[in-house]
Amino acid sequence: MLAVAKITSKGQTTIPQGVRAALHVSPGDMIAWEVDAGGVATVRRVQPIDIEYLRAVESTLSEWAGPADEDAYRDL
């Protein structure tokens, strides 16, 4: 599905109806954005408990981001 939306001067946009339907989101629901190194963004619906979990996990991942870890796990 391709959906196009315009960004306002305040950085806001409307999520197109087809995208809202595909994500099963409605007013008050939460979504999470993830952008990869290539600039590709994905969005998904999350539950409030997911946000707390993701923040907790994120804070532990920095210890695995060193050059030694990259060398050790490169071929997995």
**CA separation for the pair 26, 29 (Å, rounded):** 6
Ranking 1-10, 15-24, 63-72 by mean pLDDT, the lowest is 63-72
Query: Where are the domains positioned within the chain?
Result: 17-73
State the DSSP code for 42: E
Nearest-CA neighbor of 27 among 37, 40, 14, 8? 14
The 10 Å CB-count burial string (b at 16+, else e) for 25-64 is beeeeeeeeeeeeeeeeeeeeeeeeeeeeeeeeeeeeeee
Res 76: pLDDT:
80
Answer yes or no: is pLDDT of 51 > 80. Answer: no
Write out pLDDT tens, residues 15-40: 999 999 999 999 999 999 999 999 99
Res 58: pLDDT:
80
